[in-house]
Structures are given as structure tokens and as C-alpha cells.
A and B are shown apart, each in its own frame.
Chain A
């Protein structure tokens, strides 16, 4: 089944404790992206990647890192999480030539205390 998977789905952590949210897709998509969703602010893009080893900042990249060492994986790294990073996170992927048609993962609900 074609899908985007995220792990973990739910995470409660404390300020400053490094964490990684994994994202994997099985559709051989070149393009991958991370979004966060907050009440009243909607979905906002954090980082995106056009292909392996190519990443770029979205609208809200502060406090986040990403890497794209393999085509299928695009982990989101929070080196020192803070409470303002409490949010619902989505990973998405698409073919490079069809970046408007993105497949989204199920989401990761992160709480930073």
C-alpha cells in the first residue's frame, strides 16, 4: 500500500531533550516536506527536500533540522525542544513534477513540557 508513515504518533517530552520524528514513504517520491499545524495558524511548512541531499527552509524552520540521506526517509530533528514547538506535525511527499499533489502522513502530536 502506498503510504507515508510517521513515528512516533504521539510524544510527550521535556524542554531541551533532543528528539527525532521519522518520516518514510514507499512511493519513490523525490519531494518531501514537513508541516506543523497549530490552532488559528493553520498548516505551515517547516522544511522541504527536492531530492536526496537537497533540503531547504520553509516558512517556520527555526528550532528544527532535517536530513535527506535516503530517498525514502526525511527525519525531523528537534535538538533542543521548547514548549512553543508543541504542535501537530505532518510529513508529506510527492513526485518532483507533481508537487501540488502531496501525500500526507497521519501526523505526530508532540507536547513539550
Chain B
């Protein structure tokens, strides 16, 4: 699985969009980008994933650059409950494990 790089931490004002970047410059053509988050020692929670096209679901949007070397997770209207560690993972669709890096600590502030 390709290595991903994320900022250590970010702050976001409540109600504003949170944009979390992820660099995956060595991603291969058949590796997907997955995002998970972990709220204070709870089990990680799947958010979204994509291959080439931008994706949106009820939780977030995922924007993947055309060259696929980076992506951005967007939480459109961040709330205090979105404060968590966010993990960006590049993996093959049928891989047998998730490899979690250090992630980005997102702090949403009122």
C-alpha cells in the first residue's frame, strides 16, 4: 500500500468547512483512497473512499486530484463532535488489512 502523509493537526471553526489534506504521491493506479476517523479512543469509523472521481456521502466529500497524488477530505459544516483523528489510507480494493498512519488531529472550536 502506498504511503500517505498528513498534517499532524488542524483547527477549524465550528460551522465552517474542514478541509483535511492527504498526500499519496506514490499511489498506484488500482489503489483506492480511504478515510476513517477515530473519536477519542472509540473504534475507528469509516467515512468515505474513492479511486479517481470525487465522491460525496452524508458525512463528507472526497476530492482527488487528477494525477491522484493527493486528496482532500471535506467536512462541509464542522461541529464540535467532528473533533477526532482523521486517517487517510491508500490501499488495494481487495487488500487484507488497513494500515493506519498517525493521522491528523482535527480540533473543531466554538
Give the interface of A toward B (CB within 8 A). 4, 33, 42-43, 45, 48, 50, 56, 58-59, 88, 90, 92, 97, 99-107, 109
Contacts and interface: CB of A to CB of B under 8 A. Distances in A.
B39 to A, nearest CB: 11
Interface residues of B, number: 22
A103 B101 contact: no
- The 4 A-B pairs at the shortest CB distance, nearest first, are namely A104-B43, A43-B100, A45-B97, A104-B44
B96 A100 contact: no
Given A48-B96, A92-B43, A101-B49, 6 more contacts: A4-B43, A42-B101, A42-B103, A50-B96, A97-B94, A103-B46
A92 to B, nearest CB: 7
A56 B96 contact: yes
A59 B49 CA distance: 24
Contacts of B45: 104
Contacts of B49: 100-101
Contacts of B29: none
B10 interface: no
A58 B101 CA distance: 16
Nearest to A48: B96
Contacts of B55: none
Interface in B20-71: 32, 34, 41-46, 49
